[in-house]
Structure 1
Amino acid sequence: MRKKLIAAGLAAILLVAMAAGGAAQPVRRGGWVDRILISEIRDMAGAVTRLEAGDIDLYVTTIGTADLYRRIAASPALAYDRNFGSFWELTFNVAGPVLPDGTLNPFHSDRIREAMNWLVDRDHIVREAHGGLAVPRYFPIQNAFPDYARLLADVARRLERHYAHNPTQARTVVTEEMRRLGAELVGGRWQFQGRPVRLIVLIRTEDERRQIGDYFAGLLEGLGFTVERRYGTGGELAPIWQGRPEDGRWHAVTAGWISTVIVRDQAANFTFFYTPASTMVNPLWQAYRPSPEFAALADRLSRRDFTTVAERTQMFSQALEHALRMSPRIFLTERATVTARRKEVRVAADLAGGTAGAFLWAHALRLGDQVGGTARVASSQVLVQPWNPVAGSNWIFDMTPIRATSDWPTVPDPHTGLPWPQRLERAEVTHKRGLPVSRTHDWVSLDFADEIRVPADAWIDWDPVAQRFITVGTKHPAGLTANTRVVLRYPRELFETTWHDGSRFSIGDMVLPLIMTFDRANPASAIHDPAAVSAFRTFQGHFRGARIVSRDPLVIEWYTDQWFLDAETVASDAAWWMWPYYAQGPGAWHTVAMGIRAQAERRLAFSLALATTLRVEWMNMIAGPSLNVFRRSLPIMAREFWVPYEPTLREFIPHADATRRWHNLVNWF
């Protein structure tokens, strides 16, 4: 219990800092409430009881069980918001086939993993585990999102029929592959080198996944495997499956995801779910080995290396077939869930991500017509994994409070997925003529050109030794063209806003993320992370340059060969590359600098993959042993008024600004 109270208190402290800043203004700005207290309630039925009793105001975890849905809908004290972005799957350990301890891992085989699609009965799972509040899912794209509808007629249905429940086919493939791997079926049980083939299935216990895990484990036993079932919450099981896959501590896990926004273009999902270029920089993803054809196809889709909708559809079709043949995970169901709240409570909810995934949930949270007050929020888990903006936790339970303390250049519309400007004022998008891009909202303009030339003084690369950007003119003296130019225009008051420690937002905060994109992937860098290389290569494949045109007001030009079907998404994507919201959260330059120094000195690591390799702590900026590292280094950095990448950033971070930043951070810490 003490651990839970401490965790909830830390989250509350962070949220109080955000909300109180708004309350101090003469006109109410920021959140409607003064404080948000987050507590952990694992039992969903218990959470509904607490809501009805008025002990809490909002339960952000999505609820997908039929009995609780009916109870919430019938309660006169409660209201709910529907959402369709969460989905369950089975993730497999792909290491092997023979692990260092001499045991056989059948799931190293692509064919055995593919056969799991035939083994499971998705319709049975929908009926028995979800009570009908779900639909079968086969693909890495959402059934409820536009891309599925575009592919439905001639691609999706064909593949769904091919991979429909067929236990006979599954058994045939598994038997062939197990014998090829050197296993024998003795008395109906698989053995390898005289020992039973034992599979460890990690089973989440918070929701329907417990029933799904038991169902799948039973199917494996029916095929002749010896199965060990290990139960636990997401936080309890994550250290096992996110460790080194070759250690053989697990073979399958009942996993789940939530798309927190309506994604109108899911072309990058193949890279995310199937290749080491994913933003999931942990050891399992680094072990993925897609075929060269699939890897190239996923990369091209991620970079939007196509020119027509027909070409895009053909590439999607091929990628879906590769994905199902590789199957490092098999998707099972897409849920229809609700987020429950007191009837008088108002809050933003996304049709995909619900309240937990909505970017502006905390900003919009209001207790009736009241201005101020304390909102009592609960989640099924809190503080699951380490927080650091560069490569920390991506769990939705962590993202919910992280987003409550964040701000962005754009935010997604909770009903359409189209971006709206938040800190960005407007954007001008120019595409190469012929690309099928359209515009909906008037905050972005759209036009076309026969050729888009990149200015010679635009930044296109990075020298990690000199710590300076390399310009287009230096790297491409003959000139360079791009498919897309985006002009990003920010309001004059942008740099009047402040960070949580009172430091004023600056252009240095915006330049550092671009530097980090290059530097972490370069072997000559002091903070090189091999896990960042594959994702960087995808970025490098489409990035064509960036330059700061004006500082007051701030105007940035972004050049790329990547494009999206919606001009709003094109502009939003460009804005996020030079905004201090990293892969997993916001980061002022001076707080990220603490992490840069700690990683350069090999005392901490931003990513779990590098932490595992270096055998150091995975960086956590809010709790745990990492704070002792920061406690020792912060006074030294403050005395030095240290600025990372000084040859470049000193132009954007004056000495007086650095002095104030370190003073503020020392006081905050």
Structure 2
Amino acid sequence: MEVIEMLRNRLTVAFGLMLVLCLLLSSCTQTPAVTPAATEAEETAALTEAPTAAPTEVAVATTRKGGWFDEIDFSVVDNDSAITQIQAGAIDIYADGLAAADYPTIVDAGLPYVQNNGLQYDILYNHGVCTDSTQINPFSDPKIREATNWLFDRDYINQEVYAGANLLKWFPITTEFPMYANLADVAARLETIYAYNPDKAEQIISEEMIAMGAEKNADGKWEFKGKLVTLNFLIRSDSDGTRLPIGDYVSNQLESIGFTVNRQYKTATEAGPIWQTGTPTNCEWHLYTSAWSATIIDREEKTLYQQYYTAETSQGIEPIISAVPAEDFRVLANDLANGNYSTLEERDQMIADGMEMALKDSLQVWLIDGKVFIPFKPELQVSYDLAAGVQGAQVWPFTIRLKDEEGGVLKVGQQDMFGQPYNPIGGTNWAFDQMAIRATNTGGTMNDPYTGLSWPFQIEKSTVTVQEGIPVSKTHDWVTLDFTPEIAVPEDAFVDWDANSQTFITVGEKYPEGLTSKVRSVTTYASDFTDTVKWHDGNNISVADLLMSMIMQYDRINPDSAIYDSQAVPNHEAFMTVFKGFRITSTDPLTVEWYTDAVAADAELNVYALWPGPTAVSYQPYAFGEGAWHVLTVANLAEAAGELAYTTNKSTENEVEWTNFIGGPSLEILNKYLDQAIADEYVPYAATLGQYITPEEAVERYNNLKAWVAEHNSYWIGTGPYYIDRAYMTEKTLTLKHFDEYADMSDRWSGFGSPKIATVALDGPAQVTLGEEAEFSVSITLNDVPYPTADIKSVKFLVFDANNNIVAVNPAELVTEGQYKVVLTSEMTEKLVTGSNKLTVAVVPTVVAIPTFSSLNFVTLAP
């Protein structure tokens, strides 16, 4: 992670910047939208201006609405040819991005790029106990999974595969995000404990294998019941090209301790059906070269344990949905995700405890926090998210454009397409699929690409009331934050669902003794919301669309429902531990109250915008895209009839088609039930939605949808700036077209500034005498001027002795604007030992969610 330098020869590991690579290559420019010089690139750490307090209007007004392009074409491009294809004009941008090792190629080609963090590489294990009694799965034993942390040399992987430019990773929390800086002392301790130690790994694994009934043969290979223990290893051969050498290295390490490894090199779409939809206990596979990409800057990262280790995950894929972690880990994961804590200190301690529990469980063994470089042609203007880059950013379809030009065609290259079916309930979660899907979405709020906070999108304002004593703060003026001793949930708020009567159950009915909550969010939508926001098939959005999303949250988990799906139950049960009710108090303007015990530290992230699509909060009935009530009604009819299923597990169990809105056999089935809905003048959940939908309105909606399907051969509609015009699943191409009826001006989100990431320099004595005080200076700048103190949340220092043990963790002292000092007291230096020690400083700004670390080595001498 750090490169050791002596006095005044500093290396700043600026998370979110590529300073390490600058030093390695002696050639670097800075994001965002960096264009290398035609001759040679300067070695510079210059940053652009900080973002304004809110997105501002661009200088030149436009009359255009929706996206800036007329058309966006997606196609599959191998990462090895991405640069060549951009130069040839075959594509305009390679959205998946390239690894750090490919950075010189981008520079040599003279292409601009943006760089983001948030791509995480790991080994994902199959935890299943084999149903075939003649086989064993070593990774069904958590002790063996844990031991592989000692078997894999993360630094070797970083040096050999990524030219030493990425960051080593042991935990699900992201090394570039604030929580890691906050818990840097905990991380350092655990990283030391779980440092590379193959002898220890082999000893533990051998003991566990023998206990499972295996033994080594004369050749030193593990056998079980007379057969070699063969590990089926799914190694991705596509992506950015780095998972193949990682897979080979991991295979070599496993083979070195007696395992036989069947290396299966596969692309995303070849491997996906095996590990994502297969039954773990069939033992068709044992480990997979996994990678995860962030879609937002996660300011707290408190949901990660639930998402990566427990059945309550919203991921909807194996082997996570069938995972059985230790009960204390499962409880902690869900309590964290649901905000079951009283103070930030308690939250931090829970996350710290979870770091160790995650290592003990090791369903996933984390290896590398990656940096991704996204190249594009010079004529393109690209906005990006510090964590999600371009592909995973909510903001991308609203801001990408040709410089000083409206319209045109954008050609996007990606590593793959159509990894899984498209449906908003249980469809594809592949990053390459979700990029196109995001262009079809809008949302109640917009994620800030630099801070991770929310801005109002289809909502206008919100008032967040929090129970006194719970630590919540706000940054933006669009949200009002207040506190009260108690929040009583109104009796007429909806808190549950009766699948038989198809009506909501009120708080008064379910909890006659009354109910309280920790948070109340009162959100007001734009006054013309239902008049201006349209679905792509021409139908206006309605209150029924919003209510349908809550009905789907409940109806699918009720055994009495015709669309019951057991896969949805664990996540819903976790949701219900904190959900306390909601109600619509007005339809003009639309006003929604939400009551919950789930608390975020930021008021902006406690705003619950009822929305028929992905949201920034825990309410996620449609996690994979937007869903109009009339489209979902057709799919519900097909599922109730036993012909389709939204999720992979249900489709496998019932041996029916996995619902796909854009292609395959699903379309013919959906067509049949669309005709049925029209003939029956069908109003779904009529006992509830009948007050918002008449039979005539329902038929009008269905007919508009039928006309849309006839033209586009797709049931995928959203409210976003682009719509899916054509999807060719065999050829793996997809075309988006500009949605002319989109309500917002094209330049609405064009005013984001650039990330205000700090540059940190650390100076001090090269030698320190044990037992004597020493002082170091910390300089924090932006564009070579002092970083505003008002924009700095914390400056913390850590002292490591020659054995890499933490000796001290303390806040640095403010001297003046942009200047801090670190004082190592005589008591601190007395605890050191002679040799080379390290001082690390972590700077956490408030205006950008990327901390900066700087390290300096010094030698301690005996008095």
TM-score (norm 1): 0.93
Tell me the alpha carbon deviations over residues 515-537 of structure 1, each in whole angstroms, 9 at most, x when there is no partner: 11111111221111111111111
Query: Is 2:302 the counterpart of 1:267?
Result: yes
* Aligned residue number for residue 5 of structure 1: none
* Aligned residue number for residue 549 of structure 2: 513
Q: Among 187, 190, 196, which residue is 1:156 paired with?
A: 187
Q: Among 281, 286, 291, which residue is 2:316 paired with?
A: 281
Distance 2:231 2:314 in 1: 28
* Aligned residue number for residue 596 of structure 1: 636
Q: RMSD across aligned C-alpha pairs, in angstroms?
A: 1.5
* Aligned residue number for residue 410 of structure 2: 375
Matches within 5 A, 1:221-370: 221-242=255-276, 243-370=278-405
* Aligned residue number for residue 21 of structure 2: none
Matches within 5 A, 1:233-632: 233-242=267-276, 243-496=278-531, 497-572=533-608, 576=615, 582-632=622-672
Q: CA deviation at 1:309?
A: 1.4
Q: CA deviation at 1:133?
A: 2.7
* Aligned residue number for residue 667 of structure 1: 707
- SS of match in other structure, 2:233: strand
Question: Which runs of no fewer than 5 residues in structure 2 stay unpaired?
Answer: 1-61, 710-863
Q: CA deviation at 1:657?
A: 2.2
Relative distance call for 1:580 and 1:148 in structure 2 (3 A) is closer
In structure 1, what residue type is equivalent to 2:139?
Answer: F
In structure 2, what residue type is equivalent to 1:291?
Answer: A
Judge which range, 588-597 or 208-217, deviates more. Answer: 588-597
Query: Is 2:677 the counterpart of 1:637?
Result: yes
* Aligned residue number for residue 211 of structure 1: 245
Judge which range, 125-134 or 571-580, deviates more. Answer: 571-580
Judge which range, 417-426 or 564-573, deviates more. Answer: 564-573
Q: Among 77, 93, 99, which residue is 2:131 paired with?
A: 99
Distance 1:305 1:508 in 2: 32
In structure 2, what residue type is equivalent to 1:436?
Answer: P
CA contact (8 A) 1:580 1:588 kept: no
Q: Among 609, 624, 649, which residue is 2:689 paired with?
A: 649
CA contact (8 A) 1:140 1:270 kept: yes
In structure 1, what residue type is equivalent to 2:216?
Answer: L
CA contact (8 A) 1:120 1:165 kept: yes
Q: CA deviation at 1:572?
A: 4.8
- SS of match in other structure, 2:500: coil
- SS of match in other structure, 1:354: coil
Distance 1:219 1:644 in 2: 56
In structure 1, what residue type is equivalent to 2:489?
Answer: V
Identity %: 40
Judge which range, 362-371 or 223-232, deviates more. Answer: 362-371
- SS of match in other structure, 2:561: coil
- SS of match in other structure, 2:512: coil
Q: CA deviation at 1:57?
A: 1.5
Q: CA deviation at 1:421?
A: 1.1
- SS of match in other structure, 1:84: strand
In structure 2, what residue type is equivalent to 1:174?
Answer: I
Larger radius of gyration: 2
* Aligned residue number for residue 79 of structure 1: 112
Distance 2:476 2:365 in 1: 37
- SS of match in other structure, 1:441: coil
Tell me the alpha carbon deviations over residues 441-494 of structure 1, each in whole angstroms, 9 at most, x when there is no partner: 111010000011111100001101111000011111121111000000001111
In structure 2, what residue type is equivalent to 1:165?
Answer: Y
CA contact (8 A) 2:100 2:371 kept: no
Q: CA deviation at 1:281?
A: 2.0
In structure 1, what residue type is equivalent to 2:657?
Answer: E
Q: CA deviation at 1:141?
A: 0.9
More strand by share: 2
Distance 1:419 1:37 in 2: 29
CA contact (8 A) 2:445 2:609 kept: no
Distance 1:286 1:417 in 2: 27
Judge which range, 565-574 or 203-212, deviates more. Answer: 565-574
TM-score (norm 2): 0.73
* Aligned residue number for residue 132 of structure 1: 164
Tell me the alpha carbon deviations over residues 331-374 of structure 1, each in whole angstroms, 9 at most, x when there is no partner: 11010111111112012211111110111212212112111111
Distance 2:193 2:417 in 1: 40
In structure 2, what residue type is equivalent to 1:546?
Answer: F
Judge which range, 658-667 or 279-288, deviates more. Answer: 279-288
Q: CA deviation at 1:74?
A: 3.6
Q: CA deviation at 1:655?
A: 2.7
Distance 2:564 2:428 in 1: 20
Tell me the alpha carbon deviations over residues 8-43 of structure 1, each in whole angstroms, 9 at most, x when there is no partner: xxxxxxxxxxxxxxxxxx93111011111111102x
Q: CA deviation at 1:384?
A: 1.6
Tell me the alpha carbon deviations over residues 525-556 of structure 1, each in whole angstroms, 9 at most, x when there is no partner: 11111111111111100001100000011000
- SS of match in other structure, 2:607: helix
Distance 1:109 1:363 in 2: 47
- SS of match in other structure, 1:439: coil
Question: Which runs of no fewer than 5 residues in structure 1 stay unpaired?
Answer: 1-25
Distance 2:232 2:502 in 1: 47
CA contact (8 A) 1:514 1:578 kept: no
CA contact (8 A) 2:131 2:282 kept: yes
- SS of match in other structure, 2:462: strand
More helix by share: 1
* Aligned residue number for residue 75 of structure 2: 39
Matches within 5 A, 1:124-203: 124-153=156-185, 155-187=186-218, 188-203=220-235
* Aligned residue number for residue 4 of structure 1: none
CA contact (8 A) 1:91 1:255 kept: yes
Distance 1:580 1:425 in 2: 21
* Aligned residue number for residue 28 of structure 1: 64
In structure 1, what residue type is equivalent to 2:225?
Answer: Q
Matches within 5 A, 1:11-22: none
CA contact (8 A) 2:83 2:109 kept: no
Q: CA deviation at 1:322?
A: 1.3
Distance 1:237 1:222 in 2: 25
Distance 1:160 1:522 in 2: 44
In structure 1, what residue type is equivalent to 2:442?
Answer: D
- SS of match in other structure, 2:292: strand
